[in-house]
Structure 1
Amino acid sequence: MKTTGINFRHLYYFWVVAKEGSITRAAERLDVAVQTISAQLSLLEQSVGKALLAPQGRRLTLTEAGRIALSYADQIFLLGEQMLDTLATSDIEHTMRLTVGISDSLPKLISSHLLEAALALPQRVRLVCFEDKFDALLGDLSLHKLDVVLTDRPVPSGTTLRVFSHLLGESEITLFGLPALAARYAPGFPASLNGAPLLLPTRNNAIRGRIDQWLESHDVRADVVGEFDDNALLNTFGRSGLGLFPAPSALEKDVRDQFDAVPVGALSPVKEQFYAISNERKIKHPAIDAILGAIHGRVFPSASRAA
């Protein structure tokens, strides 16, 4: 059945009924007559051509179509509430909002450095950050819930999403460890890594395959004592001395300062790349453009800006 478009008042009444579990409670919450809500629900179901609610005792339950509709209504009205909160900000005329998705595989020190350029703009920037899986963040970006995604991989070729990858730079990878571990395994590197305890990203991480290939090419049989989906957790265990852990060579000073770890050896030529992913091929958001413009030679010694 072809629809003529959604009446958002009808959808809002459905949303409230679904949350409250009954038309009576929804009517009390909205301060309208029960008959008004019933009529609005009937018009919505006629519009979409499917039943969205079904009676179950004294309550209403969602049909399968209703569950799908509710998932979209949640996004619509929660975004609406966020819009009102944002517009209510007292200094909004002088504040630029930047909503960033950060891939959980991206080193947190890298994301911090990347965002420094945006925060250094003359105009005040209100930064809102969300961390999630790469695929989930791309979905949110395509729905314009995010302004940009910072990650360690480009958008896969062949994707149907209209999003674009911007290379920020790259860095070689170094193994780090607490001084006692480093003193034990640095001499004779990389042969010394045979039997060494390693903390590595899980195999769905972009850099893991390159590290495995490096170990194999040097005929190293290390002891992988931990695998981590979250980079921050990997670093936390590294700071505890559980094993040697990889980090971008460009962050050597940060790793020393924050984790009391020192270099054991570089995994040359293994490199990790860092990307900003946006909805636009040419960046228009001033804060994102600042990240791209200021990054060259600042965070990554060999960084290069994408065209």
Structure 2
Amino acid sequence: MPALNFKHLRYFWMVAKAGSIAKASEQLHLTPQSVSGQITAFEARIGVDLFKRVGRRLELTEAGRRVLHYAEEIFALGDELVEALNDPSSPQVEPLRVGIADSVPKQVAYRLVAPALQLDTPTRLVCREGRLAALLAELSIHRLDMVIADRPLPGNLNVRAYTHSLGESALVVLGHPSLHQGEDGFPQLLDEAPFLLPGEDVNVRASLLRWFESKRVRPRIVGEFDDSALMTAFGRAGAGYFAVPEAVAQDVTEQTGAQIVGRVPEIAEQLYAITAERRSTHPAIVAISAAAAASGFTLAGQDGQD
């Protein structure tokens, strides 16, 4: 692979951000033909197509989106370098790159990560959300400092990392007042009632289904959600009952108008921090670990697991 031409990369970045070669040309004070030629040369150099034409518009290819992601970080770092050189007295901002598995409830993620912005040491927080396997791949090449997940490091992944338990919280079931009918108590009121089930990537899903069987209730599953925020939005609209960690239940009730209809102490939402180091000394990561206990998550297990 030939060395990267950063002039080509900047032209590509400008076209991707502007949305067209014509707009990018105006910003670069170049002719559209010149910019188009630079993009063509860049594609030939790296061996992939970065744009595809859809009608009169240019859209990024999958490879183009990946290159844009790297370009954003490269030029952001360049801007930071210029600022630091222009103002040597300014404090150095240390980045904290956190991956958050999309199975982790958003209220939980916010409670854990927010304290990193309140440290005496300036911190620039970079959050990435996605599936756990993809985030762990980013961690393995040091593009992330830590990953917050609802399960420990899977044993079938060839990733050198360590699992640190952040704690656990029992589940509670919530529902919009419009759902409550009859005089059945909990959990019988869930029988044949609409229910919003966590998706297959969410660790508590299997336990929740087994719990339904043990209680001999058969909710009517009306939706499955990998994204907890989307599930909560449907719950706010009264589409069905849904489960959240007890530690954030009050926040969810205030935001959605849903009410707690019952507690499920047999099932716990577990939280883990996965890092490339056995013992992390990064002050922001230490703050996140402390925030878990302050957020109502009871410490469970020992950390430092391979």
Q: Tell me if both proteins adopt one fold, taking TM over 0.5 as the criterion.
A: yes
Alignment partner, residue 207 of structure 2? 210
Deviation at 1:251, TM superposition (A): 1.1
Alignment partner, residue 251 of structure 2? 254
Compared CA separation, residues 185 and 239, structure 1 to 2 (3 A): farther
Q: Is the 8 A contact 1:148 1:277 kept in 2?
A: yes
Alignment partner, residue 79 of structure 2? 85
Deviation at 1:14, TM superposition (A): 11
Compared CA separation, residues 79 and 207, structure 1 to 2 (3 A): same
Deviation at 1:248, TM superposition (A): 0.3
Give the secondary-structure state (helix, strand or coil) at the position aligned to 2:267: strand
1:128-165 deviation per Cα after TM superposition (whole angstroms, max 9, x unaligned)? 21211211111112122222211211110142111222
- The normalised TM-score by structure 2 is 0.74
Matched, 1:199 2:196: yes
Matched, 1:220 2:220: no
The AA in structure 1 aligned to 2:299 is A
* Mapped partners of 1:172, 1:219: distance in 2: 20
When the two chains are superposed, the root-mean-square deviation of aligned CA atoms in Å is 3.5
The AA in structure 1 aligned to 2:265 is S
* Mapped partners of 1:107, 1:72: distance in 2: 26
1:76-104 deviation per Cα after TM superposition (whole angstroms, max 9, x unaligned)? 66543342134345586342321221111
The AA in structure 2 aligned to 1:303 is L
* Mapped partners of 2:258, 2:36: distance in 1: 61
Q: Is the 8 A contact 1:202 1:229 kept in 2?
A: yes
- What does 1:6-155 align with in structure 2 at a 5 Å threshold? 8=3, 11-12=4-5, 29=38, 79-89=73-83, 93-155=91-153
* Mapped partners of 1:124, 1:130: distance in 2: 20
1:299 maps to which of 272, 275, 295: 295
Unpaired segments ≥5 residues, structure 1: 1-5, 31-36, 46-51, 54-66
Give the secondary-structure state (helix, strand or coil) at the position aligned to 2:159: coil
* Mapped partners of 1:102, 1:293: distance in 2: 17
Q: Is the 8 A contact 1:256 1:262 kept in 2?
A: yes
Q: Is the 8 A contact 2:196 2:223 kept in 1?
A: yes
Compared CA separation, residues 89 and 281, structure 1 to 2 (3 A): farther
Q: Is the 8 A contact 2:111 2:291 kept in 1?
A: no
Question: Which deviates further from its counterpart, 109-118 or 94-103?
Answer: 94-103
Deviation at 1:208, TM superposition (A): 0.8
Q: Is the 8 A contact 2:8 2:38 kept in 1?
A: no
* Mapped partners of 2:74, 2:212: distance in 1: 50
* Mapped partners of 2:177, 2:6: distance in 1: 62
Q: Is the 8 A contact 1:185 1:193 kept in 2?
A: no
Alignment partner, residue 163 of structure 1? 161
Alignment partner, residue 49 of structure 1? none
* Mapped partners of 1:28, 1:224: distance in 2: 54
- Percent of residue pairs bearing the same amino acid type: 36
Q: Which is higher, the Rg of structure 1 or of structure 2?
A: 1
The AA in structure 2 aligned to 1:106 is V
Deviation at 1:193, TM superposition (A): 1.5
* Mapped partners of 2:2, 2:265: distance in 1: 59
Alignment partner, residue 184 of structure 1? 181
Alignment partner, residue 287 of structure 2? 290
1:9-51 deviation per Cα after TM superposition (whole angstroms, max 9, x unaligned)? xx438976x969xxx9589759xxxxxx9xxx9xx99xxxxxx
Compared CA separation, residues 197 and 141, structure 1 to 2 (3 A): same
The AA in structure 2 aligned to 1:247 is V
- The normalised TM-score by structure 1 is 0.74
Say how many residue pairs are matched.
268
Q: Is the 8 A contact 2:166 2:297 kept in 1?
A: no
1:161-212 deviation per Cα after TM superposition (whole angstroms, max 9, x unaligned)? 112221111111111012332x437842112211111011122321111110
